[in-house]
Amino acid sequence: MAMDLERMLQMIKDRQWALVDIDWDAPGAELIEPELHAKLKPFLSDLMWIENVGARGFAAMAKKAPNPTLKTIYEYFHAEEQKHANAELALMRRWGMLDGDEIPSPNVNVQLVINWLDKYSDDMSLSMLGTVIPMLEVALDGALIKFITDEVKDPVAQEVFKKINSDESRHLAVDYEVMDLLGQAKVRKLITEFVGAWASPSLMMGVLSYIPLLNKMRDNIVAMGVDEEKLYGAMRKYQAVGERSAFARRLPMFQLVSLHGRLVVNRDFVPYHAVADGLVKLTGKIPFGLVHRTPTWSQELTYEPAA
Ligand SMILES: [Fe+2]
Ligand SMILES: [Fe+2]
């Protein structure tokens, strides 16, 4: 049955939380052992920027939303992703990982995706954005915190993770609902948009950023001591949940993102992983200063416990 978006919006409003709700100085920070401490900083730096990828994606979706309720929902999601980023910054600060007002940088692959989104996401159709963003959400934004929940014993972090996870469950519910809605368009429109998107070189550049991002994040997850199967399980969910909707199945981009997901989770499929890992290596050679751009919207980043 179709989701009642008005009710969903009300639920989103009711569940709002703020950084001030959390006692950032409560005891428990010492529960992060030095070994974990060293690994968490790069992991959280990437994650915090992935939240911003989500924020930017939702901002683009809000501009194209087919009705005012969905537009407002996306505006809330945009703000929630920024809040997640700020909460992760506040955790890093709590754990003494930041130098003064330092805003840590992401890895080069996350940065490339940010740059791409900044430049091209507003040109993408809703059906393209609406099928790719759910994969990023299910595999990275919504999943990375879950992967480390068992390892981080700090009760403050647990409280924060719980709030973020609850937000993410609503993001995913809406993501899938929108795929269902998008799939109800006429076949001709779907095909025209799909072909049109591929006709522009910008999408190819997006693909070239997206492919190494997933393999790089897989490597990071493994470096954190997390079984990569967890990532694959999350990625399989994209197809499994999407396929429950006969409409989502009609979206050419859904089929393509699903197919690509199957390649990523199949480590034995050497040709794909040779290319993807090759791209990780190649992009790893890019001097960070060359691609590093602080997006305009990142001024809103702060660990300050504001609303
Ligand atoms: Fe998030
Ligand atoms: Fe999200």
Report pLDDT digits (tens) over 143-185.
899 888 888 999 999 999 999 999 999 999 999 999 999 999 8
**Based on the number of CB atoms within 10 Å of its own CB, is 270 exposed (0-12), middle (13-18) or buried (19 or more)?**
exposed
Backbone angles phi, psi at 162, to 5 degrees: -65, -45
Domain boundaries, the chain: 5-13+32-296
In angstroms, what is the span from residue 66 Cα to ligand 2's centroid? Answer: 20
Q: How far is CA 121 from CA 115, 132, 216, 296, in A?
A: 10, 11, 22, 15
User: Which of 233, 207, 203 shows the shortest CA–CA distance to 218?
Assistant: 233
- Please, how many CA atoms are within 13 Å of residue 33, restricted to the half-sphere of its CB? 4
Name the closest ligand to CA 137: 2
Name the closest ligand to CA 57: 2
**Biggest distance spanned by C-alpha atoms of the chain:** 59
In angstroms, what is the span from residue 270 Cα to ligand 2's centroid? Answer: 31
Average pLDDT, the chain: 91
Q: Which residue has the tokens 């683009």?
A: 60
CA distance 25 to 32: 14
In angstroms, what is the span from residue 75 Cα to ligand 1's centroid? Answer: 13
In angstroms, what is the span from residue 182 Cα to ligand 2's centroid? Answer: 19
CA distance 180 to 261: 19
> Which amino acid belongs to residue 131?
T
What confidence tier does 261 reach under pLDDT thresholds 50, 70, 90?
Answer: very high
CA angle 228, 77, 189 (to 5 degrees): 85
In angstroms, what is the span from residue 270 Cα to ligand 1's centroid? Answer: 32
* pTM of the predicted protein model: 0.92
Name the closest ligand to CA 87: 1
Q: Which pLDDT score is estimated for 307?
A: 47
List, for residues 56-100, the tens digit of each pLDDT value: 999 999 999 999 999 999 999 999 999 999 999 999 999 999 998
List, for residues 222-251, the tens digit of each pLDDT value: 998 889 999 999 999 999 999 999 999 999
134-138: average pLDDT: 92
In angstroms, what is the span from residue 142 Cα to ligand 2's centroid? Answer: 6
In angstroms, what is the span from residue 54 Cα to ligand 2's centroid? Answer: 6
CA angle 156, 230, 145 (to 5 degrees): 20
CA distance 55 to 248: 23
Out of 11-20, 118-127, 211-220, 263-272, pick the least confident: 118-127
CA distance 171 to 80: 10
Q: Which two tokens stand for residue 177?
A: 């609902």
**CATH class in words for 5-13+32-296:** mainly alpha
